[in-house]
Amino acid sequence: MGGDHAPEQIVQGAAEASLSLPGAEIVLVGDAVELGKILPRLRHDGARVRVHHASQVVEMDEKPAEALAAKPDASITVAAGLVAAGEGDALVSAGNTGASVLAVARSWQLIPGVRRAALASVYPTELRRGDKDDPFSLILDVGATIDATAEDLVTFAIMGSAYAKLISKNRRPRVALLSNGTEAGKGPAAVVRAHELLLEATELNFIGNVEGLDIPRGVADVVVCSGFVGNVVLKMLEGVSETILRMARYAHKQNLAWRLGLAALRPALDQLKSVTDWEQYGGAPLLGLDHLFIKAHGRSSARAITNAIKVASKAQAGDLCGSIGRGMRELAERTGRAGVRAPGDEAGVVT
């Protein structure tokens, strides 16, 4: 029910997935009357897509915690509960990001050793990687864990590496730590300490610190940072087109050749904006919980939803959560520490 083009495009994406993904069984959670009007009109495999009723919907602009409290039968809450109860393996939503992350964080369990979940985004780079020639690097966290400790950052490195191995078929993903300089001593205390811990993590391919500009350069396959810095940097990368137009207007108000050049480039820059819009690539995975949640873009078309379902299906088939669990166990065995979940903690909220 969530997303700018819901429920039509969501149902259509699910209908297509029921035909193209022979292994998948899809449960559409939402208003049964409304969904029941759309689904029969579409080509689909009736044996592998069905509707589960939920009477309420969290709107895109609602405050997450308040919306979930006010709407106990919200489709996202019901869907998260179905997965928690074993009625589903993974969840895809194009709805309110904060509410959906909060709903799954409350309903699902953290993988043992993981203290906080991370939302990962993909960012397009010139460089291709892995057996799939994947042109994306992964950045995590981008908003689920605003204040990340050194141990959280190491966990994010393990989770991002496992995801890149499985989804990009990248056998040895290069993992980097986002900082304000490439030297080991650069950054806040948590980043400096994480650098030391990652140097000891020989099971990872840690290449050191990178800066924000190294992300579009494709220097790393997995870029690790706190949710605060990740969210700030990602929004700036998404806004490069706007920034350059502003700078250019500042710099050359008087220069005709420049003005003409900018006018010519304007449509290209507008188009570029959509290219750098991370969420359109099959969605952003939330990593660290015992099931996979894929947050599809609010503007998702049917095709984007089908892609997100494909990624979820691939992650499930490859046992992503199991891989992350093994990575955390290896870490605990190597360091002699078990990951500690702070009492009363709950996964952060992106809005």
Nearer to a copy of itself, 189 or 342 (CB): 189
Q: Work out which of 184, 197, 207, 269 binds a copy of itself, going by CB under 8 A.
A: 269
Angle formed at CA 220 by CA 237 and CA 322, multiple of 5 degrees: 105
Q: Are 175 and 151 in contact (CB under 8 A)?
A: no
Q: Does 72 bind a copy of itself (CB under 8 A)?
A: no
Q: Work out which of 226, 300, 307, 323 binds a copy of itself, going by CB under 8 A.
A: 226
> x/- contact string, 149-188, with a copy of itself (CB under 8 A)?
-----------------------------xxxx-x---xx
Q: Are 218 and 226 in contact (CB under 8 A)?
A: no
Q: Are 338 and 332 in contact (CB under 8 A)?
A: yes
Q: Which of 5, 88, 82, 59 is nearest to 280 (CA)?
A: 5
Give min distance, CB of 37 to a copy of itself, in A. 37
Size of the site for a copy of itself (CB under 8 A): 56
Hey, which residues does 30 pair with through a beta bridge?
53
Give min distance, CB of 118 to a copy of itself, in A. 15
Give min distance, CB of 157 to a copy of itself, in A. 18
Q: Does 232 bind a copy of itself (CB under 8 A)?
A: yes
Q: Which of 236, 231, 21 is nearest to 139 (CA)?
A: 231
Handedness of CA 177, 324, 77, 121 (dihedral sign): positive
Residue 87 to residues 83, 90, 310, 319: CA-CA distances in angstroms?
A: 5, 10, 18, 17
Q: Which of 295, 343, 322 is nearest to 115 (CA)?
A: 343
Q: Which residues, numbered 131-150, are part of the site for a copy of itself (CB under 8 A)? A: 135, 143, 146-147
> x/- contact string, 296-315, with a copy of itself (CB under 8 A)?
--------------------
Q: Does 59 bind a copy of itself (CB under 8 A)?
A: no
Nearer to a copy of itself, 125 or 161 (CB): 125
**For the chain, where are the alpha helices, taking DSSP H only?**
8-20, 32-38, 64-70, 75-84, 97-107, 150-167, 189-200, 214-217, 227-238, 240-251, 256-275, 302-317, 320-335
Q: Does 65 bind a copy of itself (CB under 8 A)?
A: no
Residues forming the site for a copy of itself (CB under 8 A): 124-126, 135, 143, 146-147, 178-181, 183, 187-189, 191, 211-213, 216-217, 226-229, 231-233, 235-237, 239-244, 246-252, 258, 261-262, 264-265, 268-269, 271-272, 275-276, 351
